[in-house]
Amino acid sequence: MSFDPNWIVATASSISAVGVYVIYKQLKADHERSRREKAVELIQTWAIQLNKKASLARKLVENLNQEQVRAIYDQEQINLDKKHLEMTKGCLTENFYLNRHGVSLGGDESFTLQASDSSEIRWLIVSYLNLLESILVAWHNGIADEEIIENQFQYLVVPEKGQLILEEFRNAAGGTNVYPSISAFALKIQQKKNPSIDGKSKVA
């Protein structure tokens, strides 16, 4: 029987290819596990750092019109409908204007939000958005598992209720230039809920 060096080379190449494939599969599995672990870590960060006042501030601002939101962003005095009073008091400190001065609403249908109170709400919203943006950066860049993040944070995007993660406030702040990952996430969730929406739709 003659010695065939080509057979040895072919066999070695085959074994080498199998080894490379096994290593590739292992690295891919490790990468996916790491991305899932990162997603869970980020969700825990959100749960720990998010506070009640910031959540109430988000709900309040998402229920205001564009002019009122702009006034809060600019830290100006504004009048709000009395239906927003309890939520407003809930997201502010004991220094809330009405409490400080003991103003009686009487039969009025609105109340005044002082500039200092607008400033406090603005700070809560900016802190809320900064925290969320830092989490969604990992989602946007594939560092954290996309599906897990989308499932956990999609509750923030409810188009039928006008809830698009503080869209009007983000517009006032500079839109996609300031919060690019939140903007991309809001669009992605809208597309999942309504496939007819394309990437050119206006989402701040």
Token pair for residue 72? 């809060």
Within 50-176, residue ranges assigned H as helices are 52-62, 66-73, 85-91, 97-101, 115-140, 146-153, 167-173
CB 133 within 8 A of CB 183: no
pTM exceeds 0.85 = no
The one-character DSSP state at 9 is H
| pLDDT value of position 181 | 96
| pLDDT value of position 113 | 86
Taking the chain (204 residues) in consecutive chunks of 10 residues, what is each chunk's mean pLDDT? 53 58 61 88 94 94 96 94 89 64 57 88 96 96 94 94 94 92 95 77 44
Give the integer Cα–Cα distance in Å for 157 and 166: 9
| pLDDT value of position 41 | 95
Token pair for residue 90? 């809930």
| pLDDT value of position 2 | 54
Measured N-to-C along each axis, helices 5-49 and 115-140 cross at an angle, to the nearest 10 degrees, of: 170
Terminus-to-terminus CA distance in the chain, angstroms? 75
